[in-house]
Structure 1
Amino acid sequence: MARQNNEKGLEELRAARRESRPYYWFVAIFSFFVNMLMLTGPLYMLQVYDRVLGSRSVATLIALSVLVVFLYGMMGLLDYVRGRVMGRVAARFQNRLDTRVFDAVVRRSAVQPDQLAATGLKDLESVQRLMASPVLMAIFDIPWTPVFLIGISIFHPWLGILAMSGGAILIVITIVNQWVTRNPTQKSNVATFQAEQISDQLRQESEMVQALGMRRAAFLRWHEARAKSLSGQIGSADLAGSFTTLTRTLRLLLQSAMLGLGAYLVLQGELTPGAMIAGSILMGRALAPIELAIGQWTLVERARKGWTNLSQLLSEVRPEEPRTALPRPRAKLDVQQLTVVPPGEQQAALRIVSFNLEPGQALGVIGPSGAGKSTLARALTGVWRPAGGKIRLDGATLEQYGPDVIGEHIGYLPQRVSLFDGTIAENISRLSQAPDDQKIVEAAKKADAHEMILKLPEGYNTRVSGAGGRLSGGQMQRIGLARAMYGDPVILVLDEPNSNLDNEGSMAVNKAIRRMKEEGKAVLIMAHRPAAIAECDMLLMLENGSRSAFGPKDEVLQSRVKNHDQIRKTAALPGGVR
């Protein structure tokens, strides 16, 4: 089954590659002429040594030289053109898959942020770099190696035997190189990835590292991972370098051996001096593609690993199926027997939870830490798929809406708000390429953040970084609320909306909730603080991932107080709780 699924990803990659098949044939035809023109040098040397020097004809030498200049010029032009074509084929391949891979990376990162998700875009780039590199040109040139070896054999069988033996040795070295360097290269790549992950995390949390005096401990942790990565890189580079050096040395030795054997045959009268020089040049040309492939094997290995990773990623994250566009839903939410298992885990974080929410209502979701409140928020926004049960928005399941459409109808304020590099306006508009200024200001006003934004140095055009820059946690949370309300969603999901807010900010959030209710929309608030549920009409209490109470707020709170009083009274009896 896993192999069949992996084939789906491979087929996507092959389909993208097949789109440029005419260009591959174009490059192959150009490679034919380039390699034919590679015979210019040997033939020129053959004619100079065997004809020009013998006849002492200056006119013949000039004519041959002019012809050689023309042929080399054509060869250079054709070689340049095929390189440009392959560069564009590589760019076309990447452009064809950019959207698909980016979508797969984002979707996988939301549920399972592993190495496949972290390196997906780099894997695509590694394949593109190989396609645009001279190594791929060598693949088109390698089929001509036997032709050149046969040409050497025509001069003399002993020269052909020497050339073929040398070619066979280089092919064996190439196979051994692939076998020996594969595991060290993979281990080095894994260690490098881990070191990069640590450095990215430390950079993102640099404020905490500085404030808690963790710089030395953080450096030692990163340095340990970096040292392991560096050691792996050095070991991998040493192996690759040894094979590259061995190949280059052997090729030079073979060329010298070809000259030596050719000289011996000349002395024996079995070969002409021109054929001796031409054979040496042909030998170098025949072995050049193999030497290039071995010298750039690290690039080949990285692209091979990238191709494997991409096929697995695209197989496991299938493209979204087109959906029939549905009309704008009402703020009517029905959750039926919902069970959610967090990605990568075996145990459900939510089990058989049911409730409903009507337009104009606000529902508070309360419970201790780890009760499943954030899990419910992720399920309601479509980030995590239910393992069982259904979530219906105005009668339609969430699966019937596209991911971007769900974001338009259900606004989301996560527990930890993060902004993107850009202006505040760009963040509120969700990085839209064609933002609506009126909707941006309207969303900020609904979140009661308009006045706060205007007080910033450049207002809505104030630039912020991913960590928020000069903004406080409360300001970031209010901007995040404005982003959640951008586009006029019918339902708002707020996960701990006042965790970083002062009293003024909490009042602003409550005001936004009241406005949503007045407009006939619905709000869900995952909360710990009583102030966060002040505007709630209904309460859902979660304990250990299950629903322990649901109903009007006052009834649920009174029931909770009675239960606590009963537990206290029971505990006060002799012998404790019975």
Structure 2
Amino acid sequence: MTRPPDTAPNDRIRGLLTRGEGRLVWTIGGISVFTNLLMLTGPIFMLQVYDRVLSSKSEPTLLVLFALVAFLYTVFGVLDHARARIGARLGAQLHDRLDPQVFAAALNTDRMRAARAPAELSGLQQFASAPAFMALFDFPWVPLFLGIIALLNPWLGLLACLAALLLAGLGMANIRASRAPVGQAQTSAYRADRMTRQIAQHSPELDTMNMRAGALSRWQGQRRQALDHALALSDTSGRFGAIARALRLFLQSAILAAGAWLVLRGQLTPGGMIAASIILGRALAPLDQLIGGWPQVQLARAGMASLRDLLSHNPARACARIRLPAPRGQLVVRQLGLQAQTGARRVVLRDVGFALEPGQVLGVVGASGAGKSSLAAALAGHWPPDRGEIRLDGARLDQYPPDQLGAALGFLPQRVTLFEGSLRDNIARLDPAASDTDVIAAAKATGAHDMILSLPDGYATLVTAEETRLSGGQIQRIGLARAFFGDPVVIVLDEPDASLDAEGVRALGTAITAVRDRGATVVLTTHRVELLQGCDMTIRLERGAMVRPRPPGGETARRHTATRSVPQSLQAPVLTDAGQIRFPWEAGRNGAPR
């Protein structure tokens, strides 16, 4: 049994202070106590020099005070450096802890959000070592410094409080003014980066079809928009930051002038005048840093909220599950409904249902946009049902641990993607512990072995993210071998014959027959008659709904009914003399179409 985690991923973000990260945060807070107290070293030294050393003209006192100040500032430097190091490690530990959950959850969401999630997590890591983050720990000490100024003189204390309120008001105005630019800059930057990746990935098509000029224009527009939003954010942040710095310096001079006036009236010592100015500068420093670094704070808050929402909507992938008995391949779909995740949430599938026993093959046909690929994605666990359920050996797909479900499923998407690495790595599903025997067996089963050996580097042929020299048919065969790797009990193939030549289609049919004979369940979307005729049953999708079939009567269905319990609601198609696909329920008793 897999040991469940002591906190859910959503709680790991919301309750950040309850585990290892919390101890680090408390450590930073504890160190901040001493660093802020040590910041009083300078004002106290000034007070002693002006009020004692100069009046007494005692050189030994000056030397002792100077040695003490040197020691205290050394301690301050060590503690401040330690605080920064702990902050950096807090960010690294947070990133390391949440990275697997964010990665797994991002696989179940749309591409835009999936691309943002790692960047948001990295943003949280960087914020943990940023000056604005440390300013949050210094901010609670502002009242203490203001109180010390009030002890020196009540009028100076009142002036210091007014200065702090003025700077705080400026900070509130900065928050309101920068809220919209932060969101716009973040969104436009993600869109520009996404378009950059698309252009780099599809550069050959752009050259071939004379699309480079149009793509460049669109890319420049996206980058210009991102740059404009970034400049707007920089201008807003820079404007308020400059005002805050200038105002802080002016307020320090103002309290120095007020202190000098009090000295002239005999209500304050010269040392108190200098100390009040230095302490006010220290009291206003966290406010100044927060105003200048507020965009970082907003980005960190937005990233945390987005990650919390991402993980809360993907609990199945993010949480550990109990390990169920190894599935045999019984697949039951009941009233399956899917909705598009964007726009008006268009219905993609509705009331789709069928049942497959181990060793049966289901063919799915339908026009483009009928929902075939959506059904394949749902069966592979990539698209959680909005209605109905999918059960594998009696358990919903989300009740299996991700690693157990992944080992039990083989999936070939409509568009095969090879990951950076060797062909062996891609067939082995990036598993470094996979044996060469299993890799070669999967390649032989799908007819890819000889093709791979014909390459100069064979199974060691490298595929990079920028380019691959493999043809579409070769990539398709590698994808098929990956889907068949590890003897999965359920194999879902979305248009597996795409880009395959006649030899490849024959090898695919042989592979499907072999896995069916060993008891695996196969679901494939295709329009190839030779593949459909090898199916135990078929369904047709139209606008996301199943076309209701008549009772079976095909020879293939009858043959497998004798050895397997084939449901009496579906059957295989036949090929007419005209070379068209014809389903038995589409013809009358005399064979004429209805």
TM-score normalised to structure 2 length: 0.87
Structure 2 equivalent of residue 82 of structure 1:
83
Question: What is the CA–CA distance in structure 1 between the aligned matches of 2:214 and 2:70, rounded to whole Å?
Answer: 65
**CA displacement at 1:359 relative to structure 2:** 4.1
CA deviations on 1:201-259 (whole Å, 9 max, x unpaired) are 22222221121111111111121122222111111111111110001101111122223
Structure 1 equivalent of residue 184 of structure 2:
187
Query: Is 1:309 the counterpart of 2:306 in the alignment?
Result: yes
Say if 1:540 and 1:468 are closer, same or farther in 2 by CA, change over 3 A: farther
**CA displacement at 1:399 relative to structure 2:** 4.4
Structure 2 equivalent of residue 470 of structure 1:
469
Structure 1 equivalent of residue 569 of structure 2:
none
Question: What is the CA–CA distance in structure 1 between the aligned matches of 2:483 and 2:156, rounded to whole Å?
Answer: 76
CA deviations on 1:364-420 (whole Å, 9 max, x unpaired) are 322322233222212222222334444443454434433432332231111110111
Contact kept in structure 1, 2:9 and 2:98, CA below 8 Å: no
RMSD: 2.8
- Give the alignment of 1:349-498 within 5 angstroms: 349-466=348-465, 469-498=468-497
Query: Is 1:556 the counterpart of 2:553 in the alignment?
Result: no
Query: Is 1:547 the counterpart of 2:547 in the alignment?
Result: yes
Question: Which has the higher mean CA deviation after the structures are superposed, 499-508 or 294-303?
Answer: 499-508
Structure 1 equivalent of residue 13 of structure 2:
13
**CA displacement at 1:565 relative to structure 2:** 8.7
**CA displacement at 1:451 relative to structure 2:** 1.8
Aligned partner letter, 1:509: L
Structure 1 equivalent of residue 4 of structure 2:
none
**CA displacement at 1:276 relative to structure 2:** 2.1
Aligned partner letter, 2:40: L
Question: What is the CA–CA distance in structure 2 between the aligned matches of 1:514 and 1:119, rounded to whole Å?
Answer: 42
Say if 1:139 and 1:323 are closer, same or farther in 2 by CA, change over 3 A: closer
Name structure 1 gaps, 5 residues minimum.
Answer: 1-7, 572-576
Q: Secondary structure at the match of 1:153?
A: helix
Say if 1:324 and 1:312 are closer, same or farther in 2 by CA, change over 3 A: closer
Question: What is the CA–CA distance in structure 2 between the aligned matches of 1:399 and 1:259, rounded to whole Å?
Answer: 67
Structure 1 equivalent of residue 324 of structure 2:
326
Question: Which has the higher mean CA deviation after the structures are superposed, 534-543 or 419-428?
Answer: 534-543
Question: What is the CA–CA distance in structure 2 between the aligned matches of 1:436 and 1:188, rounded to whole Å?
Answer: 47
CA deviations on 1:76-121 (whole Å, 9 max, x unpaired) are 1111122222222232222222222222211223xxx443x33222
Structure 2 equivalent of residue 155 of structure 1:
152
Aligned partner letter, 2:216: F
CA deviations on 1:348-371 (whole Å, 9 max, x unpaired) are 433434444444443332232223
Q: Number of residue pairs matched? A: 559
- Give the alignment of 1:191-210 within 5 angstroms: 191-210=188-207
Question: What is the CA–CA distance in structure 2 between the aligned matches of 1:172 and 1:451, rounded to whole Å?
Answer: 73
Contact kept in structure 1, 2:195 and 2:219, CA below 8 Å: yes
CA deviations on 1:39-61 (whole Å, 9 max, x unpaired) are 11112122222222233332222
Aligned partner letter, 1:434: A
Say if 1:529 and 1:556 are closer, same or farther in 2 by CA, change over 3 A: closer
Structure 1 equivalent of residue 256 of structure 2:
259
Aligned partner letter, 2:582: R
Q: Secondary structure at the match of 2:315?
A: coil
Contact kept in structure 2, 1:361 and 1:537, CA below 8 Å: yes
- Give the alignment of 1:335-354 within 5 angstroms: 335-344=333-342, 346-354=345-353
CA deviations on 1:155-174 (whole Å, 9 max, x unpaired) are 33332232222111101111
- Give the alignment of 1:64-75 within 5 angstroms: 64-75=65-76
Aligned partner letter, 1:63: V
Question: What is the CA–CA distance in structure 2 between the aligned matches of 1:21 and 1:339, rounded to whole Å?
Answer: 42
Q: Secondary structure at the match of 1:213?
A: coil
- Which of the numbers 200, 214, 236 marks the counterpart of 1:239? 236
**CA displacement at 1:324 relative to structure 2:** 4.4
Say if 1:441 and 1:468 are closer, same or farther in 2 by CA, change over 3 A: farther
Say if 1:504 and 1:175 are closer, same or farther in 2 by CA, change over 3 A: same
**CA displacement at 1:292 relative to structure 2:** 1.0
Say if 1:382 and 1:284 are closer, same or farther in 2 by CA, change over 3 A: same
Structure 1 equivalent of residue 516 of structure 2:
517
Aligned partner letter, 1:316: H
Structure 2 equivalent of residue 3 of structure 1:
none
CA deviations on 1:286-328 (whole Å, 9 max, x unpaired) are 1111111111111111111112212222222224565443333
Query: Is 1:291 the counterpart of 2:308 in the alignment?
Result: no
Q: Secondary structure at the match of 1:412?
A: strand
Question: Which has the higher mean CA deviation after the structures are superposed, 525-534 or 375-384?
Answer: 525-534
Contact kept in structure 1, 2:16 and 2:22, CA below 8 Å: no
Aligned partner letter, 2:426: N
**Structure 1 or 2: larger helix share?**
1
Question: What is the CA–CA distance in structure 1 between the aligned matches of 2:87 and 2:308, rounded to whole Å?
Answer: 22
Query: Is 1:176 the counterpart of 2:198 in the alignment?
Result: no
Structure 2 equivalent of residue 22 of structure 1:
23
TM-score normalised to structure 1 length: 0.89
Aligned partner letter, 1:513: I
Aligned partner letter, 2:326: R
Structure 2 equivalent of residue 5 of structure 1:
none
Structure 1 equivalent of residue 559 of structure 2:
none
Name structure 2 gaps, 5 residues minimum.
Answer: 1-7, 557-571
Contact kept in structure 1, 2:17 and 2:25, CA below 8 Å: no
